Amino acid sequence: MDRILKGIMKYRHLDLKTMVQQFEQVRDNPIPKAVFFTCMDSRMIPTRFTETNVGDMFVVRNAGNLIPHSQHFMDELTTNEPAALELGCIINDIRHIIVCGHSDCKAMNLLYKLRDQEFASLTNRRISPLKAWLCTHAQSSLDKFMQLKLSDYKMPLIFQAETPMRKFVAYIDPDDKFSIEDKLSQINTLQQLQNISSYGFLKKRLEQYDLHIHALWFDIYTGEIYYFSRRAKQFVQINEHNYNVLLQEIQTYYS
């Protein structure tokens, strides 16, 4: 708490006045542009690495950047993530949903260990909310990872996109740059796009191309950010060389 209080005092002296001015500007008419789902990992600071500001986006964080599939909930209710989707995309008419995973994700490292049936036993889940959360809502990601492992991490995976008839192909880490757990993290990030599309209250907007879902992946040890390109069928580093290419793809695909 000493660190937090010192930070608050620094904020009061350096940033409070500017922040209040920004709050005043968006108070009556905030127009956020995205709902941003990411992990609760303390190393993830999405507003910093996206250079977004007050009023720019809704941020939802949990262990493993998971959006539970609608099949887990009666009438698609009872949990924070779909409530955030409704608040952002229906009530506030936001048109872009972004899911951002990252390297060395502690939740994904644990999910990888849950391949062991004894480790993932019901007894262990009853005493570990985190294991229960992952076993319930990240099993589909683990299943896809095991499918990829059978091909020695070389074959593409198929994910459902915005509608049941739309799918996309993904090659996971084709250059073999990342750890096994990071490969799982990238799969898990893409799986959330499929989970988002399962919610009935988003169906009409997704079918009419009025709502768009994207995947980012952050390498915390290099600071590099990757965008999943459906054209390239893989996560592509966002940099000075391909920024315009990625922007053109996004504008073409989501126009």
Task: Give 162-182 pLDDT, tens digit per residue.
Answer: 988 899 999 999 999 999 999
Which domains, from first to last, does the chain contain? Answer: 31-253 (3.40.1050.10)
Cα-based distances in Å from 51 to 28, 46, 116: 23, 8, 40
Residue 212's nearest CA partner among 182, 253, 171, 179 is 253
State the pLDDT at residue 71.
83
Gap between the Cα atoms of 64 and 36, Å rounded:
13
State the pLDDT at residue 87.
95
State the pLDDT at residue 74.
63
Gap between the Cα atoms of 35 and 97, Å rounded:
5
State the pLDDT at residue 60.
97
Helices 106-113, 180-196: crossing angle, 10 deg rounding: 100
State the pLDDT at residue 126.
81
State the pLDDT at residue 77.
56
State the pLDDT at residue 115.
85
State the pLDDT at residue 118.
76
Flag residues of the chain having pLDDT under 70: 73-78, 254-255
